[in-house]
Structure 1
Amino acid sequence: IYEWAEDDFLPVGVTRLTTDEPENGRTYVMYHGTTRESAESIWENGFQRSSKGMLGPGVYLSRDLKKAERYPINHPDEDRVIIKVKVDVGRVIAIRHQNHPLQETWSSYGYDSAWVPPNCGMVKSGLEENCIWDPCRIHILNLIKPQLLIFCRLFFSIL
């Protein structure tokens, strides 16, 4: 069994998740789940904007560690890594339902990031999702690797 561990120390100027909705111009800690190979590439070269996705092109992250630890879906735990980042979200738009008029085009309207609220029906897990248009807004803090939990059983016998 694997578990994800993270320290509780936030970088200076970073906001802990205390509000439901990301606020314009704030910096948050976010997470991105990926494979070890992809994490190494991102560590070396930075994030690259995806060409597609539920919110269109961008870098997909979440302020919820539980969301990131699910990715990549159906991939072995021992080959997963979570990238912990800090993100200046800039101007944020909330996309609260499927087929929102700006669901995939928000960046063309001057928004820097899009946010899907938890439990709005857009994400199967019910967890929030963020999409950041410009990877330069994202600064990698560290990599979180799963840690193997070893369970030991001691058997005592009475002779």
Structure 2
Amino acid sequence: MWAEEDFPLPRGVARLVELQPEDNTCYVMFHGTTRQAAQQIQAKGFRQSEDGMLGRGVYLSRDLDKARRYPLDILENQRVVIRVIVNVGRVKTIRYQAGMQKTWHDYGYDTAWVPANCGMVRSGLEENCVWDPKRITVQAIIKPKTQQPFYQGTW
């Protein structure tokens, strides 16, 4: 459980669920990045990546644990997470590396979703790729921190 997960949800926005994102629903999602990149995103908005596992788009997750791991190539203390609200539009589920993995948008989908534990993502955590950055509204830049476990007993 992350300390940041206890914020109030805006009206009409859903929190992480185990099921596939429903078409035309707004969700709280997270994007891991550097502080400098987060400030640029906050000022100018998201831009599509040139490529990735799901092709072009903005990579997000409804799972804060997934987002806090990025970028992979920098130290954890240099990472931040951007909390956003996303209207996913029409969602395509991608469970394996083939088929519409990188062409989903050509078929009228707005978001590609990789389910947790389907074998495509090493971490086993879900991933989303949103084609149009205008579907994403930045809410806050957060520094993920784990909640301190409650210790009962003697030292």
**After TM superposition, is the score higher than 0.5?**
yes
Residue type matched to 1:33 in 2?
A: G
Q: Quick one: distance in 2 between partners of 1:65 and 1:148?
A: 11
Would the alpha carbon gap of residues 41 and 119 (structure 1) be closer, same or farther in structure 2, given more than 3 Å must change?
Answer: same
Deviation at 1:148, TM superposition (A): 9.6
- Which has the greater radius of gyration? 1
Would the alpha carbon gap of residues 77 and 13 (structure 1) be closer, same or farther in structure 2, given more than 3 Å must change?
Answer: same
* Structure 2 gap segments, 5+ residues each: 148-155
Q: Percent of aligned positions with the same letter in both sequences?
A: 58
Equivalent residues of 1:4, 1:144 under 8 A apart? no
Partner of 1:89: 88
* Structure 1 gap segments, 5+ residues each: 150-159
Q: Quick one: distance in 2 between partners of 1:92 and 1:144?
A: 27
Partner of 1:71: 70
Partner of 2:119: 121
Residue type matched to 1:106 in 2?
A: W
Equivalent residues of 2:111, 2:129 under 8 A apart? yes
Equivalent residues of 1:118, 1:127 under 8 A apart? yes
Deviation at 1:77, TM superposition (A): 1.9
Q: Quick one: distance in 1 between partners of 2:64 and 2:122?
A: 16
Q: Quick one: distance in 1 between partners of 2:2 and 2:118?
A: 26
Deviation at 1:25, TM superposition (A): 0.7
Q: How many residues align?
A: 147
TM-score (norm. length: structure 1): 0.87
Q: Quick one: distance in 2 between partners of 1:58 and 1:121?
A: 21
List, as ranges, runs of 4+ consecutive aligned residues in structure 1 with deviation greater than 3 Å.
Answer: 146-149
- Output the aligned Cα RMSD: 1.9
